[in-house]
Amino acid sequence: MLKSNLINALFLGSILFILSLTMFPDTSLGIGSKPGGVNFIPFHTIGGLLFQNSLKDFAVNNLGNIILFIPFGFLLPLNYRGTDSTFKACSAGLILSLIIEVLQLFMSNRWTDIDDVILNTIGAGTGYILFRWISLIYK
């Protein structure tokens, strides 16, 4: 019971952390502090940050989007036993990311970006793969 409650709390915490970084401005990371916009061209933002910005900007946006969803993907199969494949974990990450991006369409200081959906989905899949590797090691 205690273990189940802890897993539920950690999973909810991962979602709340994702929402706090994607819905509210964080000036220390430069998130949500400037006017937003929309990008529906896959890899446009990723490429632009790689070739036209600093390594810090590239890391904060791209690696940050991946890392942000790793705990979600890791905790998902612990919380929902039916999550038994990378496809299902990636699908859950995709759905959560799409919900966030649609909400950001209505926020003047946020970007709605298909690249964020791609990176978030990779993060959820990475978290699930880490879960599988660790569970195999401990079996």
State the pTM of this model.
Answer: 0.93
Whether 58 contacts 66, CB under 8 Å: no
Amino acid 21 reads: L
Selection from 71, 137, 125 nearest residue 93 by Cα: 125
Q: For residue 31, which phi and psi values (nearest 5 degrees)?
A: -100, 120
Q: Could you read off the pLDDT of 16-27 as tens digits, one per residue?
A: 999 999 999 887
pLDDT band at 9 (very low <50, low <70, confident <90, very high): very high
Answer whether residue 1 shows pLDDT above 80: no
Q: Model confidence over 92-129: pLDDT tens digits?
A: 999 999 999 999 999 989 999 999 999 999 999 999 99
Amino acid 78: pLDDT: 95
What pLDDT is attached to residue 74? 98
Burial of 126 (C-beta count, 10 Å sphere; 0-12/13-18/19+)? buried
Domain ranges (residues) in the chain: 2-137
Q: Considering the chain, what is the average pLDDT of its residues?
A: 93
